[in-house]
Amino acid sequence: MSAPLLRVEHLGMHFGGLKAVDDVDLDVPEGEITAVIGPNGAGKSTFFNVVSGFCTPTTGRVALNGMDVTGLAPHRIARLGVARTFQTTKLFPEAEVLDNVIIGRRQHTKSNVLDAILRTKRLRTEAAECRERARQALEFAGVLHLEALPVGSIPQEARKRVAIALALVAEPQLLLLDEPAAGINEEETSGLTALIRKVVESGIAVCLVEHKMRMVMDLSDRIVVLNQGKKIAEGTPEEIRNDPTVIDAYLGGSSHA
């Protein structure tokens, strides 16, 4: 049996006495959407930060296609095919949409300072290729018509699509989406849901952290529920919906709050 795309084993991330992530196991198989849900402070974002290399876990290991990547720097993990978005989009508002996305292709290019100064053929070919790929990614995300506008001037939903295009332009195997639907309305959310489905259909596995339950239930093949850093349930949307532990964590948690 071949290793899953992403396998996380006994993952723990402790900050002093706080166990933000505590002994979590999780597999993300190829071609599926796996959602990570849980109440605020459940450790979802920390989980993403560990998988994408921004935090080195206290315990456990992260493996990509069977290869141990625990503790690798974020750019190394990105180059191994893991792309991510951030809860708050970190795009450069003053720059044009296309310029924001081109940089996502940089990891596949080799041009260096000498290429730049001597204006070599390699630089020109790579620059043209990056531009073309960036336009394709924007088209895929449905925002190609905005390519020449500054990011700061386009609507919130379009920015989220641009952020996804930026993640996709590198042609990752795995896309980590950190609350992609935060701050947008219902109608826009369903548009974004369709885009995420399209991403998976194109052969990219998605791991999703999201609060909007309808989106999670619509999209996910499997759902993992975290509470206070621990995995409390795992299963299909149907199983999770009826899981008493989950209901208790959510309803119990919020009624006490």
Partner 1 sequence: MRLPPARGVALSLLLLTAILFPLLVDNPYLVSVVITAYVTAIAVYGLDVMLGYTGELSLAQGGFFGIGGYSAGILMATYEVSFWIALPAAVVMTAALGYVIGLAALRTRGDYFAIFTLAVGVMIVIIIERWEGVTGGTDGLIGIPPPSSIGPLRFDSLTAQYYLVLFFLVLTIYVVWSLVNSLVGRTFVAVRNSEELARAVGIDAGKTHQLSFVISAALAGLGGALYAVFLGYIGPAMGGVQMTFMMLVYLMIGGVASLAGPLVGTLLVTGLMQFLQAFAEYQMMALGPILVVVIIFFPKGLAGLAKLLPERWRR
Positions that interact with partner 1 (CB under 8 A): 52-54, 73-75, 78-79, 83-84, 86, 90-92, 95, 99, 102-104, 106-107, 109, 111-113, 115-117, 119, 123, 126-127, 130, 166-167, 170
Residue 135 near residue 169 (C-beta atoms within 8 A): no
Residue 91 or 240 having the CB closest to partner 1: 91
Residue 90 or 241 having the CB closest to partner 1: 90
Residue 119 or 256 having the CB closest to partner 1: 119
Amino acid letter, 150: P
Q: Write down the least CB distance from residue 228 to partner 1, Å.
A: 26
Amino acid letter, 30: E
Indicate the SS3 state at residue 125. Answer: helix
Residue 127 or 213 having the CB closest to partner 1: 127
| Spatial CA neighbour of 243 closest among 43, 41, 28, 38 | 38
Residue 54 or 250 having the CB closest to partner 1: 54
- Alpha carbon distance 232, 243 (integer Å): 10
Q: What is the DSSP string of 225-254?
A: EEETTEEEEEE-HHHHHT-HHHHIIIIIHH
- Alpha carbon distance 4, 104 (integer Å): 25
Q: Write down the least CB distance from residue 46 to partner 1, Å.
A: 15
Indicate the SS3 state at residue 41. Answer: coil
Residue 34 near residue 207 (C-beta atoms within 8 A): yes
Residue 77 or 246 having the CB closest to partner 1: 77
| Spatial CA neighbour of 153 closest among 201, 108, 221, 95 | 95
* 134 phi and psi angles, rounded to 5 deg: -65, -40
Q: Write down the least CB distance from residue 238 to partner 1, Å.
A: 33
